[in-house]
Amino acid sequence: MTLFGKKANAARELDEKLERIQMNFENNYKDAAQLNLKEFESLLGTFLEEGKLSEKQKAYYERQLADCEARLENFTHKDQKPTWVP
């Protein structure tokens, strides 16, 4: 998905993290999805501090972060309710 034409390395790295989050979410890999979300958030913060993203990219990735956080809010093993009966 090319959103900004020829992407910079920073945008490419963020896209890779988003793809990993999505794959782990779809495969129900809860711990991995949460870990990738933390990595994405950290990487985004670093790139924002270093000024490696344009304003358009900044808005896009911040929106993606908020969406991922909302989707993964209760997506952990500890919040999983057992549905089987012994």
**Local confidence band at 18 (pLDDT 50, 70, 90 cut-offs):** very high
User: Which range is most confident: 48-52, 59-63, 70-74, 75-79?
Assistant: 59-63
Please report where in the chains the tokens 């549905």 appear, as a residue.
Answer: 83
Residue-wise pLDDT tens digits, 39-58: 999 999 999 998 889 999 99
Measured in degrees and rounded to the nearest 5, phi and psi for residue 25 equal -65, -45
> pTM of the predicted model, to two decimals?
0.76
Residues 6 or more apart in contact with residue 40 via CB below 8 angstroms:
14, 17, 18, 21, 65, 68
For residue 79, the model assigns a pLDDT of: 52
